[in-house]
Structure 1
């Protein structure tokens, strides 16, 4: 299979590209710089910039699948400027892909477009599946609404909108920051500790992307989150147990808001989302519980 991965040099993108190459797919990584890494050259790995695609879209003729992971990281302080970068990077990437697909003589079979579990807004009591309505309650849910609207303009027969939860991996994403208090022996619940966290291990996320690529019956919204969401307090307890650290020192909400500003909502708010579509279509999570995920991460 010939696959184009936008954002292929990012945290999730690198893991996905590695998995695609290992199973024998031909991969084109699309990024702003388009520079190949220092790793040994692979004849099935190609690099292109967005500018090169715009100038010569025919170079991606024959692409079977596009996976769009492009977007500014949300793991930064949310100033007005950074919030605009987060939003615009996602809208622009989807628009570029829509233009590319329009210009190709042979359209890709499908586009898998990253999205966010924030699509459902925040709640302490509700449970969300793919058929739950979208709701804008904060900055991130507003971003997801516009992100998916932009993705809907991509003219392909099958569009998968992968609503990704918090991705857990020891060396990348949000986990190093989330685990820092426990690693410093100062871990505990954040705020009330009752806020929900819909999470997914990086390996399962990559596996779910491959699963969505290979199963043509999967389309529309897909919750990319583990089947057992947890409260913030349970997450911290599992983290502490796996790493041999105490879970004892609560961090009040006002302190997080003072330090992180609006970005504190990532830690103080959340939603309980279930991956109903993935499970109904036969996907099996390797790390279905937070305890199994933390055990692997702590031993990595």
Structure 2
């Protein structure tokens, strides 16, 4: 299978590209700077967005496109940062729309990253793909506009992959969240009651491939594990895996001072279930937080 990946040099993208290569796929990484991606594998090709626009025929015959492009949200949300976060996502979708229109043979499927922030935050409600979208804050507004831009690409089959907190040792939230425990200073953040809907990086990579390979999956698909946990439970699981105490709470006001509006990612949450993945028969390698933590701690 020939697969194109945008955002292929990022945390999830790196793991995804390697997964596709390991199973024998031909992979085209679309990137702003071709020098950012090492491409020594015979089935790995790197192409710039400029070449995609000027020479779209180079991607003729692509079976699937995975769009992970977008400015990281893990930064202080200044007005400039907010603009970059939303613009990067809309621009990537717009460019993919132009590519799809230029191709004689359209891709069979496009997997477009999105986010679970679309459901809003709650300590009491449970959400799945049938839950309504809301626009209550910055991140939920980003997801709303992001998915609308994905709809405009014109895919034969579109999967809107609503991504939760991705856990891995090479990036994402886990290294930063584990650091206090390494220093024997781990504990809950804020009240500890806020939900954390997470997924192991190996499972999200396998889920993306599963979405490509299974025609019945389309529309919103939650990329989260089947057993979300509270912040308190998450911290205790890190402590168990690392054999460290879970005892020093971080007050909400301190996180707000340090991170500004970004602190909402740690202090607010939602209990999200991956119902469509489960119904389609996807099997998680790391369905529980303890299984995920044991894996991550043993390899970090």
TM norm structure 1:
0.98
Alignment check: 8 A CA contact 1:198 1:226 kept? yes
Report how far residue 42 of structure 1 moved. Answer: 1.7
Q: CA deviation at 1:36?
A: 6.4
**Aligned position for 1:58:** 57
Deviation at 1:38, TM superposition (A): 4.4
Q: 1:53 to 1:254 in 2, by over 3 A?
A: same
1:16-165 equivalence runs, <5 A? 16-35=16-35, 37-38=37-38, 41-165=40-164
Aligned equivalent of 2:246: 247
The answer for the alignment partner of 2:228 in structure 1 is 229
Partners of 1:139 and 1:153 lie apart in 2 by: 22
Q: Deviations over 1:266-294 (max 9, x none)?
A: 10001000000000000000000101000
Deviations 1:198-242 (A, max 9, x none): 000000000000000000110000000000000000000000110
* Match in the other structure for 2:277: 278
**Aligned twin of 1:8:** 8
Residue 144 of structure 2 aligns to a residue whose secondary structure is helix
2:182 aligned partner: 183
**Count of aligned residue pairs for this structure pair:** 299
Which residue in 1 is equivalent to 2:191?
192
Q: Which runs of 5+ in 1 are unaligned?
A: none
Counterpart-to-counterpart distance in 2, 1:141 and 1:240:
31
Counterpart contact for 1:36–1:47, Cα < 8 Å? no
1:189–1:250 CA contact under 8 A, matched in 2: yes
Distance 1:37-1:99 versus aligned 2 partners, 3 A rule: closer
Q: Distance in 1 between matches of 2:282 and 2:46?
A: 31
**Paired residues of 2:9 and 2:37 also in contact (CA < 8 A):** no
CA contact (8 A) 1:30 1:48 kept: yes
2:28 partner SS: strand
Write out per-residue CA displacement over residues 102-125 of structure 1, whole angstroms, 9 at most, x where no aligned residue. 111110001000001111011111
1:100 partner SS: helix
Change (3 A) 1:36 1:75: closer
Secondary structure of the structure 1 residue equivalent to 2:47: strand
